[in-house]
Amino acid sequence: MIFLRLAIKSLISRRMTVGLTIFAIAMSVALFLGVEKVRTGAQASFADTISDTDLIVGARSGSVQLLLYSVFRIGNATNNVSWDSYQDIAARPEVDWIVPMSLGDSHRGYRVMGTTDAFFERYRYRGGRALDFANGGRFSDLFDTVLGADVASDLGYKLGDPIIVAHGLESFTEHDDKPFRVSGILAKTGTPVDRTVLISLEGIEAIHVDWQGGAQRPGRAVSADAVRAMDLTPSAITAALVGVKSRLQVFRLQREINEYPQEPLLAILPGVALQELWGIVGVAETALIGVSAMVIATALLGMAAMIFAGLNERRREMAILRALGAGHTTIVAMLLLEATLIATVSAALGTLLLYAGLWVARPYVDAAFGLYLPINAPTIHELGFLLAVVAAAAFVSLVPAIRAYRMSLAHGMTIRS
Amino acid sequence: MKENTAINAVQLRDVSFTWTGRSPFRLDIEDFSIASGETVLLLGESGSGKSTLLSLICGVIAPEQGDIQVGGTRLADLSSGARDQFRANHIGVIFQQFNLLSYATALDNVLLALHFAPERRGRIGNPRAEALRLTDALGLPDSLVINAPASALSVGQQQRVAVARALIGAPALIVADEPTSSLDADAQASFLDLLFAQAKEANSTLLMVSHDERLGARFDRLVDLGNVAHVERGQAA
């Protein structure tokens, strides 16, 4: 087809401006697809933060707040759950397993969580995956600690290293009389567990035995050895993860915990709360998509402007075509073909850029943000988007095409160059 | 000079065209005709309305009134699209300069004429071979015609490619608008030799516009545009 060949040669003859235009559109396409990938990746990672847990129980507050502090280690609990209530719930016939969590202390910016060995068995993420140890193992001593992958790598800890837990989240007072020892380091999960310092529930109790109101009671310090002989049953915990024997019992158990007469408690379904939270986070996502769509629109307008600006110097070309018998529609079709070619090449190049970018950035993104970006063939949705870009390009090029049509009407065969 | 046959190659009667652009003018042509097979040199200074006359004959613009016939076909009877098609099939056009799509090869430039003209295409067995035969006859080396973009050719070579493009498929009428003005004297002579030889071979009528009277000796007839057309300038009527 001579026309396609001529159109391609014409574009190549203007390779500088056409190249820049293609690059701009390709970048915008890559940006949009990239945002889309990050968005779906983030949503999937987010929803995968916790799985196989039927209920999360905490003191009565909001469901999103409970989710935030119990799973994402963001914010604080307003209240605790008394040990008696915890035991009550644990003893209920519907409950298959229960994992207590005690939060509130920190280590160099990372949250410390007191829990039991059951946590390593029961906590699941990314569709039922269990926690793995990269090094070492569970707590074998009162003052053992297991580190999340990020904590270990960021702070450079290895097995056997001592760790001092600080009291509270942003305090300078430390439980330095009772240092912990790293007994295990977890493999990377891409969940907040990576940024958590895990110690046993008794360990939490042990470092607080001689504390009152945020400071050690003067003159009544208990040594690390002495504390081992004491009863370290906690008086309260922060939250608990619950698994039920039969999924059919989840709602009844939830209702009964929510109506627990002795203490105001809240039980939430993690999936529902995650969705609720994503609904809040999702506003940013919509804004991101909006912005990248605008970037594409801008790039396409740039292309229309490029074609438009080129029309004047191409009067000769059009006069020649007119003289050869090309109709006005041919002139319009020629410019549409040009825009379609530019957009098609741009879409292809943009997709290539995306995959190249993903390939390069994926390990980094996974390591830095715990965001797993899958590299897979373009989805129907993405192909549809690429088609839409090409169609939009043809549409905006109607502006210069109509202008060219008018010019060819007015100038006839006169060649002014 | 050939006998005036029943059907004229070009015939204009009582044609009036008004240009309403930035510099408005009005062109009136009472009677102008070219016999089939005739070679005519139309003399006129720039601004005498020759480009407008050529555009009218080619059907690129349409007159307000009057009758224009090309090869017996009344252009006013054709729709704008049909006029484009008619022009492609029956008229070969050569401009003063910048005849070619600079990014395409000379060969593609020649073949492009056939793309719009199925009748001319129908007269040729192998377009590519015919295009090369013509450019060869016009003294252009094949390698230059096939491989180089038109912008790599000299002005004289480009004009000869334009001749090949105008002549391929033997259209009835060749319209040339000062095709030699960008050439030096020697090149002019050899260019016209080639143009005449090829036009004769294709049995085409030749209408050429120039301001150079000295070229007249070669033509069957010399027409002063001033005697045929009346131009009025100023505010649009």
Contact indicator for B45, B32 with CB cutoff of 8 Å: no
- Which chain A residue's Cα is nearest to B89? A325
Q: Is residue A416 part of a domain?
A: no
* pLDDT tens track for A22-55: 999 999 999 999 888 888 888 887 888 888 999 9
Domain shared by A159 and A229, yes or no? yes
Q: How far, in Å, CA of A30 to CA of A356, rounded?
A: 10
Q: Are A41 and A104 found together in one domain?
A: no
Mean pLDDT of A64-72: 91
Measured between CA atoms, the residue of chain B closest to residue A329 is: B81
Are both A290 and A346 inside the same structural domain? yes
Total domains, chain A: 2
**In A118-240, alpha helices (H):** 118-122, 149-155, 201-208, 224-227
Cα–Cα nearest to B146, from B159, B129, B124: B129
The predicted pLDDT at position B4 comes to: 46
Q: What is the pLDDT of residue B2?
A: 43
- Phi (first) and psi of residue B13, to 5 degrees: -135, 125
Q: Give the model confidence (pLDDT) of B131-171 as tens digits.
A: 999 888 888 888 888 988 888 888 888 988 998 999 898 89
Instruction: Return the SS3 of A14.
Output: coil
Both structure tokens of A410: 């007015």
Q: What are phi and psi of A37, to 5 degrees?
A: -65, -45
Contact B116 A324 (CB under 8 A): yes
Query: Which has the higher per-residue pLDDT, B143 or A241?
Result: A241
Residue A139 sits in the same domain as residue A261: yes
Regarding whether A175 and A67 lie in a shared domain, the answer is: yes
Q: Which amino acid is at A222?
A: V
Q: How far is A350 from chain B (nearest CA, A)?
A: 27
Q: Are A251 and A367 found together in one domain? A: no
Q: How many helices (H) and strands (E) does chain B have?
A: 9, 10
Give the residue, B236 or B189, on which the prediction is more confident.
Answer: B189
C-beta atoms of A6 and B112 within 8 A: yes
Residue A9 has pLDDT above 50, yes or no: yes
Q: Are A215 and A221 in contact (CB under 8 A)?
A: no
Under the banding of pLDDT at 50, 70 and 90, the label for residue A412 is low
**Of A236, A268, A300, which marks where a domain is finished?**
A268
pLDDT at A386: 92
- pLDDT at residue A364 above 90? no
Q: How many Å apart are CA B196 and CA A409, to the nearest integer?
A: 32
Quick check: A226 pLDDT over 70?
A: yes
A161 domain residue, yes or no: yes
State the pairing for strand pair B65-70/B73-74. antiparallel
Give the range among A210-219, A296-305, A317-326, B9-18 with minimum mean pLDDT: A210-219
Does residue A340 surpass a pLDDT of 90? yes
User: Can you tell me the mean pLDDT for B8-24?
Assistant: 83
Chain A residue with the nearest C-alpha to that of B62: A412
Q: Do A413 and B54 touch (CB under 8 A)?
A: yes
Q: Are residues A112 and A209 in the same domain?
A: yes
pLDDT at A417 > cutoff 50? no
pLDDT at A381 over 50: yes
Nearest to B98 among A2, A328, A417 (CB): A417
Instruction: Check if the interface score ipTM surpasses 0.90.
Output: no
The answer to whether B180 and B160 have CB atoms below 8 angstroms apart is: no
- Residues 12-41 (A) with a CB less than 8 A from some CB of B: 12-13
A10-23 tens-digit pLDDT:
899 889 989 999 99
Give percent of chain A above pLDDT 70.
96
**Last residue in a domain, options A244, A268, A292:** A268
Pick from B87, B95, B117: CB nearest A415: B95
Task: Give domain status of residue A417, yes or no.
Answer: no
- Long-range contacts, A286-289 (Cβ 8 Å, 24+): A288/A35, A288/A39, A289/A32, A289/A35, A289/A36, A289/A39
Residue A64 counted as domain residue? yes
**Residue B178, pLDDT above cutoff 50:** yes
Query: Given this model, what pLDDT does residue B237 score?
Result: 41
Domains and CATH numbers, chain B: 8-233 (3.40.50.300)
- Which ranges of A370-396 does DSSP label H, i.e. alpha helix? 380-396
A377 and A351 in a common domain: yes
**Which residues on chain A are in Cβ contact (under 8 Å) with B58?**
323, 413
Residue A337 maps to a domain: yes
Residue A197 within a domain:
yes
Residue A274 lies in a domain: no
What pLDDT, on the 0 to 100 scale, is given for residue A411? 61
The answer to whether residue A278 sits within a structural domain is no
A198 and A258 fall within a common domain = yes
pLDDT at residue A120, as a whole number = 94
The residue among A240, A268, A296 that closes a domain is A268
Closest approach of chain A CAs to the CA of B155, in angstroms?
15
Nearest to B101 among A317, A413, A417 (CB): A317
Q: Are residues A82 and A229 in the same domain?
A: yes
Q: What is the pLDDT of residue B6?
A: 59
Per mean pLDDT, which range of A205-214, B71-80, B191-200 is the poorest?
A205-214
- Residues A341 and A403 occupy one common structural domain: yes
Comparing A224-228, B181-185, B192-196, the range with the smallest average pLDDT is: B181-185
- Domain span at A317: 2-46+283-411
Q: Over the stretch A127-160, which tens digit does the pLDDT of each residue have?
A: 888 999 999 999 999 999 999 999 999 999 999 9
Q: Are residues A103 and A208 in the same domain?
A: yes
